[in-house]
Amino acid sequence: MRKTSVWILALLIRCVLIWLGTYISDPPALSMTDIDYLVVWDGVCLAPVPSERPTYRYSPIFKVICWPMCRWPTYGKVLYSLSDLIFALLAYRITRHSQRVHHLWLMNPFVIALSVRGSFDSIVQTLVAWMLLTIKQHKYLMSGLLLGLCIHLRIYPIIFTPFLLLYALLDRKADQREPLDGIFRAGLLLCCTLISFFATTLISMLIDDGYLSSGLLYHVSGRVDHRHNLSILWAVQLACSKGKEVYCWPFAKLFQTVILAALIIQRVLALRTLEPIENEEAQSVLKRRYFYHQLLSDLDQACRAFVAFNSVVTAQYFSWTFATFTLSPNAVLNKTSYGKLATFVGSLGLSLCISGALEFSGKTKYLSLITLANTAAMGSLLFL
């Protein structure tokens, strides 16, 4: 199939599903609208300030972005689907691998379902891709501003910061274009990120003075939720929700910190490569090099580790990993990767079936298999 045909088909599929979603939304039909989409619509259109709704946990900036939803309810789905296509365009500019972009993103049924049902994560993923493109172009001021905005909208891009700072510090190609040393570039990136994050947070607090406690601190402090939870720590969350305090310790944050620290240390130790220097003796000296494809690979591994060991995992979280996987050189399409994807999907399906039987029918016979299914899914995700 030609490249243009794939893009047209991807757009048509999203349009048809959004159109169908306007008719398949009322019980007893299976809803094609995500509950989070209804929460955003309620907070944006009906509440004086979004934080008055107890389930609204998002930035009040969405009140500005999504205000047309009040007159056109499908506006958000259209916006998120267009963000999907923009991400694919940016991904192609970053990777230059059209087949990878087509298979892993444009025609990925999981990605399509999330955007047409109303998951706003495609906006954040598009901003992340834009940020990585500006990193590739050595525009660190713009990169910092975008990274700060991404962290404000979704906390998880903060895990990319150490790798991005390290890349800015060792970006030798930028030295050939700009008279900036590595420390200045890294400092510029960090300062712009902080300015962008605190500026957007301040604006959000001015829009809604309850945002800090109901949104930002809620996500940072960690939540306890065993319902629809696909985490390998699901059983720990269940025990914590029953009042067993020993299970409420921050196991997930500990695992994530250790793994991310290991990835950073591994990258720092691997940076020293032999590189010849032309001089009279033609000697070789050790130079630190951090290539762009290595950066993309590290971000992909960091994101997968973060999701795999998070205390609460929902379907939207996997779109984060699909985004970084699409951008990284780790995305190799072969029988092995397809087998791991099949294991991932099958394990998630088993976990959701057991959870559904518990929630709707009260059946607890196979409850112990949820942790096993979640572990299999996360294992296949980590080694994809």
- High-pLDDT (> 90) share of the chain, %: 32
Q: Which helix (H) or strand (E) holds 9?
A: helix 3-21
pLDDT digits (tens, 9 = 90+) for 331-346: 777 777 778 778 878 8
> Pseudo-torsion of CA 7, 108, 155, 136, nearest 10°?
-50
CA dist 157 and 148 (Å) reads 9
pLDDT of residue 384: 67
The sign of the dihedral angle between the CA atoms of 346, 352, 355, 360 is: negative
Domain contains 126: no
**3-class DSSP assignment, residue 284:** strand
Domain contains 98: no
- Residue 54 burial by Cβ neighbours in a 10 Å radius (0-12, 13-18, 19+): exposed
Question: Tokens 């500990």, residue?
Answer: 254
Q: Which helix (H) or strand (E) holds 170?
A: none
For residue 286, the cross-strand partners are 274
CA 115 to chain centre: 13
CA dist 77 and 16 (Å) reads 12
Tally of domains within the chain: 1
> How much is the average pLDDT of 374-378?
80
Give the structural domain span for 270: 223-384
pLDDT of residue 56: 80
pLDDT of residue 174: 56
Domain contains 17: no
Domain contains 122: no
pLDDT of residue 343: 82
pLDDT digits (tens, 9 = 90+) for 225-250: 666 677 787 777 777 777 676 667 77
pLDDT digits (tens, 9 = 90+) for 19-38: 888 776 654 445 678 888 88
**Has residue 138 got a pLDDT over 70?**
yes
Instruction: Note the helical H segments in the chain.
Output: 3-21, 35-45, 61-65, 75-95, 98-101, 109-117, 121-136, 140-153, 161-169, 172-177, 182-207, 211, 217-221, 234-241, 251-269, 292-308, 315-327, 335-356, 369-382
pLDDT digits (tens, 9 = 90+) for 35-78: 888 888 888 888 888 877 777 888 888 888 888 888 888 899 99
Domain contains 282: yes
- Residue 321 burial by Cβ neighbours in a 10 Å radius (0-12, 13-18, 19+): buried
Domain contains 116: no
Domain contains 28: no
Domain contains 99: no
